[in-house]
Structure formats: C-alpha cells, structure tokens
Structure 1
C-alpha cells in the first residue's frame, strides 16, 4: 500500500472524486503544510495556521499508479488559480501536491510539465515534501456521501 496527499480546494469534493477510483483503498480529509499542531477546521479556515485542506489517499500501486492519481488531480480542479478554487478563497484552498518521498516529488514535477500545455494560464500548484497530516474532525470525513450529495456546487475546471 502507498499514500498520496493532494490539496485541490475544498476537500469534500476531492475526497468524493478519489473514492470513486478503482485501487483507492481509503481516504481521509485533513490538513497539511501549516505551523499549528492538531489544527481544527475553524482554525484552518482563518488562514492563520498556514495549512491547506488536503486529501490523504491510501492506494494499491498494483491497481492504480501514482501517475493516474496525479492525472485525476489535474483533471478535477483549476491549478492555475492561486489560493482559490471557485468561490473558496484563501491559502487553505491552495493547489498543492505533498510528495511522501523523492519519487513522488519527481513524478509530480514531471506530471505538472506534461499538463501545463493543457491550460491557458501557468500552473501555480506547489509541489513540496509531505509534512505531518492532521485528520479533520469526523463530520468532515466522507461529507458528501454522508449527506447524500454527489458533488459540491463547483463545476468542471476550464482548461
């Protein structure tokens, strides 16, 4: 099993997208990349902790590759908007890939270069080493599923 961590705006939609992918074994929404230990959702929403809302994906690399996870990342949000996805604005909504090792960091950088020609504007996605993952409160886990929703109100990104 392997782990990948992505920030692509509101973590509810990101989680629903990845949970539907064959080879994904489990997901958890939470926070990474900030300065406060064990932050709450309310604290992260202030923008003062420095964390991004992220999805941590546990996957079987024999069934789904890291490159496939990266493709899903690029396909399902707008990586050209700084600290924003749709109506959600703030550093907690930044586009970011947290690589758990050097191989993931290299693969993410190569993927960004492959995907850049598909966008009109420059990709602003951060690609950085993973830090401590802080799991969000339980009511955020599988939020859309728990509420009978298929997706958030955000549409497909414009490439």
Structure 2
C-alpha cells in the first residue's frame, strides 16, 4: 500500500465543485444583517417603551413593527415555502406565535421571539455556509485519480 493512496477497501468519490455549487450567494450574510437589524430595532422599542415611558401606539410600536419585519422576513419566506410543500415546520409556528402575541397586544414579546429565532437561524446559516466553503476547498485538493491495488496485482491508476 502506498502512503496517502486509496485502496479498493476504502473507495470514495467526490463530485466536482461546479456540480455541487450552491447559488445562494450572500444569503447567510443577509440573514445575519437582518437579525442584527431586528436586534437593534427591538432594543430601540424597549428603550422607547420602558426607559422613556412612551406610549405603545407611538415609537415603541414603530420599532417593534420594524423588528417584526427584520426578524420575520426570512422566517416568513421559509414558512411559505415549506407550507406550499405541505409541511408545517418550526418557522410557521414561530410566525403564528409572533402574530398571536401581536393580536393580544404583546408586541415586545412577539418581537423578541422573532429576533431570537432569526438570530439563531442566521448564525446557523452562517456556520453552515462557512463549513460548506471549507469542504469545497478540501474537495478541490482531492486527487483526480488514485492507484488501486486489487489482490496481489500491480497498482492500477483509476479516476
């Protein structure tokens, strides 16, 4: 056996990077920026409502509505896509909970729910994106062929 070479007992295949390339350029980055915007607007709403004592129908509501937009944007897109496929997943449930909070006048609770959910999802997507790029880089280092020894025969180069 040759060091660093594959043998028939350890076969593996790798797809060229072009065949597995994901076309969601920057999606994880956008999700992260939207989650940050949701956090900033949520903080603004909390400051306006509790620190400044402004009535909910004024600036606090504007900030919380902005949090609903930024925190719920990608969640809404994912929920619609999965619902159209006949699946009810956690994204749908989070939206229902946030809408329910708004309907009973608990805007801050719905806003923090969407902010935290979007932040968790954004960080998950960001980590997944970085891991995928690292794996693609490693796949590019894989040799295009290997020497394989079957039985006692001489090694044969195979793609």
State the TM-score, normalized to the length of structure 2.
0.24
Greater percentage in helix:
2
Greater percentage in strand:
1
Answer with 1 or 2: which has the greater Rg: 2
State the TM-score, normalized to the length of structure 1.
0.24
